[in-house]
Structure 1
């Protein structure tokens, strides 16, 4: 603990980055050196998992090996959906937004002639997860410092960020899964929400704008993982607080705050609704007589149907 006190707390970002690099390198090394196909052999069905080019360079071969080792279980759904889209109903249990983001990056790199690999969707998904995890560590540190100011607060913030690095989620935060991206978006949204209360030297209108931005980030996190919808609870609580304050006396500032809260809540909800609307258009609206039972429900949610029908 003395090492943490003397060095880490004085240079928190440098210390956190060092720990992050060491931890991620250890996990990747462990994955690479682990013999055999692992607990899930599905990746071996991909044509790209083996090198068929004798002239393949060290960078490409290492990237192929890492992609093969980390593309397991849910990652297969995400990367395959990124490659060819969400074709089957059960695939909608795996984030449309995250897969679409990987697809857009892959198309962008293809257009400029970069990453011309068959496994580029897996490699990009892994890169996204690493970058999102690293940035989320910094955002979590800033969030904790905002909530708990002072020297003790900074120590608590560092410990929280450190624990987020060595999370029990392990390689799931490195694999092409949604956990890292979701944490980044949720932490950033919460940071903006917290700053809408106590940011010094900032006008009230900007603080209200931070609420809307927080809602947008929460909406994106909800699009990545459906349970992000629970982030909307903070908007509900704030709406109740503002409504109560309005009973004590009306003011334009309070009304504007209430509007900002409402917009933030709507943005959060859209992250849950829009992917399902896209699925509805794909499976239901394009057919004159859709055969899928969930298309005829009062609330045609593909999320709930997939969970009930396939799991």
Structure 2
């Protein structure tokens, strides 16, 4: 195909990549600027005691070439970043560190021991770990923006609207978390990627991405809800439309197995924590959560050390934070209400009462997204506008579930 016939969607993807990179560079520049003008509120960055385990105490003893650069990078390790860098440096030493799941520290360790290993003698080991964390999260954000666009194209059936939404995502109000040593970028990438593959028909690939999202953040297990929703509709179709009960049983079994696969990483992580903290101790020496019928380390840590729990955040002292989030929350609520009013039957029936034509739009393949000829772009827009009055339940479900995921996140 001639370069003059380049797909508009490919062009929009490149624009999104450029916007995502630009937004990251702009944000990192602002971070550096404000750190030079204002002293940071969090002062935990200098805390760097020796690792408890002798296996992790082999720190570099040679002279660092540029200690001031290394020190400047280490000064940026604040809030949750302190825990992630510490885990990458020393492993899981204390009970409270198990609140931070292992995918980000694992990526940091891998990058620091391969691509960035020459920099250890230049800026120091801990600075390299921090640099690896920044690199992982900012690259993940750029990829997440691309998957955000791909998902939006399928759901909205309007490439232009999807493009505008993706640009807004690149400059979203929570950008600081997506460029710091946090798990937001990895979680967004894996969740959006899993959702893209799910609605593209690659369910097994989606399961893998969703399972990995559960290695980044605990709420990754909620991504199993997408598969549960899909399974319910497939079982409904098998029983009431196709009149094949045995097919419904098969669908339910496959759906259950896929959901279990998504839960396995988080369950394995809980078992790992139980083995390290509880195994081999007498009943009197065990921590309180070890004695529970279902010993959940994660929920105990969140409650015991940080007072986090169901509805505990809803306190009067948190009112300023709710006011800060009110613009985005208002947009999300208004969007849901607008859809509810425009498609009440589909909304309140969770898509079960959608017509058969609405339920089964053609699934886009991963390759076809980037190979739409330019001559077809106007046809796509006409087709998308014609479907606005009866948008498919698959797209409807995607919009509702996607909004739900982002509000939780």
Partners of 1:55 and 1:229 in 2: CA distance? 44
1:96 Cα deviation after fit: 2.3
Between 271-280 and 14-23, the greater mean CA deviation after superposition: 14-23
Alignment partner, residue 101 of structure 1: 107
Alignment partner, residue 305 of structure 1: 300
CA RMSD across the alignment: 2.6
- Alignment of 1:141 onto 2:135: no
Structure of higher CA gyration radius: 2
1:63/1:252 CA distance change after superposition, 3 Å: farther
Partners of 1:16 and 1:64 in 2: CA distance? 34
Partners of 1:262 and 1:114 in 2: CA distance? 46
Cα displacement string for residues 210-260 of structure 1 (whole angstroms, at most 9, x for unaligned residues)? 212212211111221111222111222222223333334338876665444
Partners of 2:153 and 2:16 in 1: CA distance? 15
* Equivalent pair of 1:93/1:303 in contact (CA under 8 Å): yes
* Equivalent pair of 1:86/1:96 in contact (CA under 8 Å): no
Partners of 2:154 and 2:70 in 1: CA distance? 38
- Alignment of 1:275 onto 2:269: yes
Alignment partner, residue 72 of structure 2: 65
* Correspondence for 2:188 among 170, 173, 183: 183
Alignment partner, residue 168 of structure 1: 173
Could you state the TM-score of these two structures normalised by the residue count of structure 2? 0.62
Partners of 1:264 and 1:167 in 2: CA distance? 32
1:87 Cα deviation after fit: 1.1
Between 294-303 and 15-24, the greater mean CA deviation after superposition: 15-24
Between 228-237 and 28-37, the greater mean CA deviation after superposition: 28-37
State the SS of the aligned residue for 2:180. coil
- Please, which runs of 5 or more residues in structure 1 have no aligned partner? 1-7, 197-209
- What is the count of residue pairs matched by the alignment? 278
Partners of 2:217 and 2:250 in 1: CA distance? 30
Alignment partner, residue 45 of structure 1: 47
Alignment of 1:1-311 (within 5 A): 11-34=11-34, 35=36, 36-46=38-48, 55-56=65-66, 65-69=72-76, 71-109=77-115, 113-116=117-120, 117-118=124-125, 119-149=127-157, 153-196=158-201, 210-248=202-240, 249-250=243-244, 257-289=251-283, 290-311=285-306
Cα displacement string for residues 35-75 of structure 1 (whole angstroms, at most 9, x for unaligned residues)? 2441212113349xxxx97953xxx8657534533x21011
Partners of 1:10 and 1:45 in 2: CA distance? 46
Alignment partner, residue 5 of structure 1: none
Partners of 2:111 and 2:257 in 1: CA distance? 29
Between 36-45 and 163-172, the greater mean CA deviation after superposition: 36-45
Could you state the TM-score of these two structures normalised by the residue count of structure 1? 0.80
* Equivalent pair of 1:40/1:72 in contact (CA under 8 Å): yes
* Equivalent pair of 1:82/1:99 in contact (CA under 8 Å): yes
Partners of 2:162 and 2:145 in 1: CA distance? 10
1:154/1:297 CA distance change after superposition, 3 Å: same
Partners of 2:144 and 2:114 in 1: CA distance? 24
1:109/1:10 CA distance change after superposition, 3 Å: closer
- Please, which runs of 5 or more residues in structure 2 have no aligned partner? 1-7, 50-61, 307-409
1:125/1:230 CA distance change after superposition, 3 Å: same
Alignment partner, residue 205 of structure 1: none
1:163/1:260 CA distance change after superposition, 3 Å: farther
Between 19-28 and 77-86, the greater mean CA deviation after superposition: 19-28
Alignment partner, residue 378 of structure 2: none
